[in-house]
Amino acid sequence: MANALQPVRGTRDLIGDDAARHAHVVETARRVSALYGFSEWQTPIFEDTKVFSRTLGETSDVVTKEMYTFEDRGGDSVTLRPEGTAGVCRALITAGLTQTLPQKVFYQGPMFRYERPQKGRYRQFHQIGVELLGPGVPLADAEVIACGWQILNALGVAKDVVLNINTLGDAPSRENYRAALVAYFSEHEASLSADSKTRLEKNPLRILDSKDEGDQKLVAQAPLIYAHLTENAAKFYDGLKAALTAFGVPFTENPRIVRGLDYYNHTAFEFVTTALGAQGTVLAGGRYDGLVEQMGGPSVPGIGWAAGIERLAMLIAAPASGSRPAVVIPMHETAEAQALEILKGLRETGIAAEIAYQGNAKKRLERANKSGAKFAVLVGDDVKLKNLQDGSQRDVAVAELAGLLA
């Protein structure tokens, strides 16, 4: 096995319980989001590179360090999607849906980022997400957050997570706050990390989520945005909190949650857990009213979130697998034709059934017992139904089988 091929670093196979957990997260999110009126979209896993470079920012870490970008055989620059929102907004424009609002979108699938693999983080990872495009009111934000909360509840992990919310304000609020941050951090520039010194010039809000210990000490004393909100921005934030309370969604205000890109405004939020160590964010999102316009479309407000399936799957137990109700066993060679006919009939009526492919009757029955099946259909000169749990068996008519196995 020394020369056996291995998966590429940062990728993994989904097999057995891992596959079951993954599927359970997706199916639960799909079911719950449908209760809120979200319909599923599937966008391509690669896009024109500009879909991401224009929206994520040419100087962002994702664009400069993490994207899988390559030139295809036609000479076009394409990128494996590093996140889902940009593709959904591009699809909204492409499909001519900016005049048919609101659009409530659920998506799921693989994303790709070249970053250091660690617990719960892969280079090919998977996300679920929702986007609500059209309404620019706090009730929309609250509904999107409530949908995420209900999905976490349905997965049984809500008890392990805390919702943190913040406001980024409107454009004038951000300008006021940016000026206050520049003034504060400029006084302490000598103590900032190299990355934060660069951010001070380009995007001082990003200093607030620096992981550098020295930066964090300065951030703890930095001005808060609440004192710099316009009247309209404060009213929007109050409306969000009132609607979340009405939905019964518990939350904590965290003024340090920020988004570095200019098209983000008003709401930012994260569901975090301590159950996964340092990688504690399991679902996060925010309002991005300028994104569709930045992509060449009209002005369309938007709010959404994404959640890592791998991280959510780590928080849940493997769902119980549905045991196979029947294994069909031909007891001798001449019975195989009738066994195949019975197998076909059971499947056509919606009964899960398999056939024991080879070996003598005893070997086939042993394999049926190990498979977790509830019943074996023994096809010989007559047909018998054997209960593999208690060992009992009885003669049955073929026409009875579907009813007995349902």
Full strand arrangement of the beta sheet holding 46-48? 46-48, 77-80, 69-71
Question: Which amino acid would we find at residue 20?
Answer: A
Q: How confident is the model at residue 150 (pLDDT cuts 50, 70, 90)?
A: very high
- Give pLDDT tens digits for 219-267: 999 999 999 999 999 999 999 999 999 999 999 999 988 876 778 899 9
What was the pLDDT predicted at 27?
98
Q: What is the mean pLDDT of residues 279-283?
A: 85
Task: Provide the mean pLDDT of the chain.
Answer: 91
Q: Domain 17-170+230-315 is classified in which CATH homologous superfamily?
A: Bira Bifunctional Protein; Domain 2 (3.30.930.10)
pLDDT at 385 over 60: yes
Neighbours of 195 (CB within 10 A): 15
pLDDT given at position 2 = 65
pLDDT the model gives residue 260:
66
- Bond preceding residue 102 cis, omega within 30 of 0: yes
- Kind of pairing, strands 161-167 and 383-387? unpaired
The CATH T-level fold of domain 326-405 is Rossmann fold (3.40.50)
Query: Residue 59 above 60 pLDDT?
Result: no
Largest CA distance in the chain: 93
What is the model's pTM? Answer: 0.89
Q: Tokens in use for 359?
A: 């070996």
Give the residue extent of every domain in the chain: 17-170+230-315, 326-405
More confident residue, 68 or 256: 68
**Interatomic CA distance for residues 185 and 95, integer angstroms:** 45
Q: Write down the pLDDT at residue 1.
A: 57
| Residues in contact with 15: Cβ distance below 8 Å, sequence separation at least 6, in sequence order | none
**HEC assignment per residue over the chain:** CCCCCCCCCCCCCCCCHHHHHHHHHHHHHHHHHHHCCCEECCCCCEEEHHHHHHHHCCCCHHHHHHCCEEECCCCCEEEECCCCHHHHHHHHHHCCCCCCCCEEEEEEEEEECCCCCECCECCEEEEEEEEEECCCCHHHHHHHHHHHHHHHHHCCCHHHEEEEEEECCCHHHHHHHHHHHHHHHHHCHHHCCHHHHHHHHHCHHHHHHCCCHHHHHHHCCCCCHHHHCCHHHHHHHHHHHHHHHHHCCCCEECCCCCCCCCCCEEEEEEEEECCCCCCCEEEEEEECCCHHHHCCCCCCCEEEEEEEHHHHHHHCCCCCCCCCCEEEEECCHHHHHHHHHHHHHHHHCCCCEEECCCCCHHHHHHHHHHCCCCEEEEECCCEEEEECCCCCEEECCHHHHHHHHC
The string of pLDDT tens digits covering residues 179-205 is: 999 999 999 988 899 889 888 888 888
State what percent of residues in the chain have pLDDT above 70.
96
Q: Return the number of other C-beta atoms located less than 10 Å from residue 100's C-beta.
A: 10
Task: Please give the pLDDT value at position 35.
Answer: 98
- Rg of the chain over Cα atoms, rounded to whole angstroms, equals 27
Is the pLDDT score of 376 beyond 60? yes
Tokens 């319909």 correspond to 39
* Contact between residue 211 and residue 110 where contact means Cβ atoms under 8 Å apart: no
Block residue for tokens 């979209």: 41
Whether the per-residue pLDDT at 365 is higher than 90: the answer is no
